Amino acid sequence: MKIITAFIAALGFATPGLAADTLDTMPPKLETQLALSAAPPHLRDKATVHLLDLKTGYRLTQEGTNGITCIVERTQWEHADFRDDIFVPLCYDAEGTKTYLRYIMDTAAMRAQGMDPAALKAEVEKRFRDKTYPVPSKPGLSYMIAPVMRTSSPPDMKIRTMAMPHLMFYAPYLTNAEIGAAPDFTNFDSLLYPFVDKQGNPEHSYMIQMIGAAEKAKILAEHKQLLEDLCAYRDVLCLTHMEH
């Protein structure tokens, strides 16, 4: 998710990494654990998992049976910038797997094939316009309840590491005005109720629902070892580091 607040008390901000044309691959077990942590526990065993492949984009490593597909997103097309420090664990339901997940997988593949960031952004926008990437045809959601993620954050859209578990319901073309939402990214209380996050274009919009404080605490406790392992793997994934 791109819309996040910089001041949430429980968040730790890690040092932004430098932009890079190449990505590192996570240890497979660690990447699998991070990807699956985005889903509720009862969905993980039967979920499909794709891991990053520097030659092809992603590769299938776990074939699921429940319609849920989990990955760690490493390239975000809308920024027109290739970084090596984006980590967004997410799990799409069946409808999202058929629609929104396609552009994420294609983005990784085009980066692996050597397309530059500006050209990649233009190509994804074109595919949305010509309906190569259809919007979801029915309601659904993306689970994003992992204990940590690293992506951009308002008000300055810098890259930060944070714990912000939430759910993202598909809402193509929906606006905040239509649901009476008025998110204020300097006031966390305004984000406690659903609001719309437009991620790059109107077609790719979600209604966001934050996970409550008590459930968030349980998530962090459940994944204590995972958080330690991620911090040992990459300094930028440590929640204890402050951004500067």
Domain membership flag for residue 217: yes
Whether 3 is in a domain gets the answer no
Q: How far is CA 226 from CA 46, 63, 81, 108, in A?
A: 20, 22, 28, 25
The three-state secondary structure class of 20 is: coil
| Integer CA distances (angstroms), 110 to 82, 115, 122, 202, in order | 12, 6, 12, 22
Q: Nearest 5 degrees, angle CA 133-CA 57-CA 112?
A: 105
Q: Is residue 87 within 8 Å of residue 72, measured between CB atoms?
A: yes
Distances (CA, A) of 103 to 52, 100, 205: 14, 6, 14
Peptide bond into 155 cis (omega under 30): yes
Looking at the structure of the chain, the number of domains it has is 1
Residue type, 27: P
* Per-residue confidence (pLDDT) for residue 34, from 0 to 100: 98
Does residue 12 lie in a domain region?
Answer: no
Q: How many Cβ atoms sit within 10 Å of the Cβ of residue 40?
A: 13
Whether residue 13 lies inside any domain: the answer is no
Write down the H helix ranges in the chain: 28-36, 41-44, 94-98, 100-112, 117-129, 176-179, 213-222, 224-233
Instruction: Let me know if residue 22 belongs to a domain.
Output: no
Q: Quote the pLDDT of residue 8.
A: 34
Q: Which domain holds residue 106?
A: 28-234
Asked if the structure places residue 20 within a domain, the reply is no
Cα(47)–Cα(36) distance, integer angstroms: 8
pLDDT beneath 50, residues of the chain: 1-20, 242-244
Token pair for 131: 């309906």
In a domain? residue 8: no
Is 108 inside any structural domain? yes
What lies within 8 Å, CB to CB, of 8 at 6+ separation is 162, 164, 188
**CA distance to 155, 164, 199, 209, per residue, from 215 (Å):** 26, 11, 26, 13
